[in-house]
Amino acid sequence: MNAAPVRLALIGLGDMGTTHLKIFAGLPQARITALADSHSLFVDRAGAKTPTADLFYDPLDCVNNAGIDAVVVATADDTHYRIVQACIARGLPVLCEKPLTTTAEQSRLVVDAERATGRRLVQVGWMRRFDTDYQNLHGTLRSGHVGEPVLISQRHRNPLSVIKFDERELITSSASHDIDIFRWLCGEEIAEVSAVTKTSQDGAAVIVVLTLVSQSGVLGVMELGRGPGLSYDIGCDIVGSRGAVALSPGGTGAANDHAAHPHTEAWKQRFAQAYRSQDASWLSAVATGSPVGASAYDGYRTNAVIDAALTSLESGRTQHTFRDSGPKSHRPNTYRQRN
């Protein structure tokens, strides 16, 4: 006997929300029941393609009153906190695009609210965990083939024609993916972070380098940048005690010739498989009650590292990022965990 479809609300119908809408529309176990955005044009546009969905022009009205089983949040970053808290208050599972919130303090309040319900409701949309190439890296570490991780190096570059982030935005937005991957791969918290930056004299190219140290001493180096001569390019190299392993060049589903044709869809093409896998896995988890992916606690810890990196950028000093144990039920165990 087939389970009843999950009744979904998609909140936030801009670029990322539309991507999720297309994915869920193709999943038979999903029933898109409600659509919401504070921008009426976005709601009307999505509603025209999903005539069976109820339309809401107030996201909180949708969370509180729609006949739904779960929620996808893809609104502006600074709106995540109130919407996710409303989902938790109603007991609704929620897939929230990164970041969980814009500060560690707000994210910790989300963790506390979720814990008070006695069950996990929140997944943060760090889709790289579901990418085949990143999962291969994770699996290699889990197998012990290269021994214990010693150094994890990552790069995250964007063309200026697509991303115009300054050094702070490169940390608050771009770096969140890489911070989450570092924690996921080494399976422990980041104890220290330092940040340095360099901007070209004409202001066109900006590079930020974050240096991380995990609780056991695993080193992390992240290069984040944007510039007119750059293409969309990500990479990850791991040095272990018995060998080394790297992310596959180009990656699964990578767009071709980014340098010659940098465009806004390059990153979505690179991670198309990851987004589909993430959304399908989350939907299955909602139906079965078996959570996957990054938790609210993961969102909190990443926010804490970002806040510390911003402080380091201003002070020029290394910052400590992990001073408490946090809720044990949400803490990662080792780098052998699957999702």
pLDDT tens for residues 241-253?
A: 999 999 987 554 4
Can 6-127+278-295 and 131-271+299-330 be said to share one CATH topology?
A: no
Q: What pLDDT was estimated at residue 248?
A: 81
Pair of tokens at residue 45: 């546009």
Which residues are registered as beta bridge partners of 219? 151, 213
pLDDT of the residue at 267: 79
List Cα–Cα distances, 338 to 197, 258, 334, 335, in angstroms: 34, 31, 10, 8
Tokens of residue 309, six digits: 């990196």
What's the rounded Cα separation, in Å, for the pair 175 and 160?
17
pLDDT at 258: 39
List the chain residues with pLDDT less than 70: 1-2, 250-265, 323-339
The CATH class given to the 131-271+299-330 domain equals alpha beta
* pLDDT for res 254: 41
**Position 143: which residue type?**
S
Q: What is the pLDDT of residue 310?
A: 97
Q: What is the value of pTM for the model shown?
A: 0.90
List strands edge to edge, sheet with 6-11. 54-56, 30-36, 6-11, 70-73, 94-96, 122-124
Domain ranges of the chain: 6-127+278-295, 131-271+299-330
Rg of the chain over CA atoms, in angstroms?
20
State how beta strands 206-214 and 219-227 pair.
antiparallel
- 69 in Cβ contact with 6 (< 8 Å): yes
What's residue 330's pLDDT?
Answer: 43
Contacts of 276 (CB under 8 A, 6+ apart): 23
Q: How many angstroms from the chain centroid is the CA of residue 57?
A: 26
Residue range 6-127+278-295, CATH number: 3.40.50.720
Yes or no: say if 246 and 237 are a contact pair by the CB < 8 Å rule.
yes
d(CA 308, CA 314) in angstroms, rounded, equals: 10
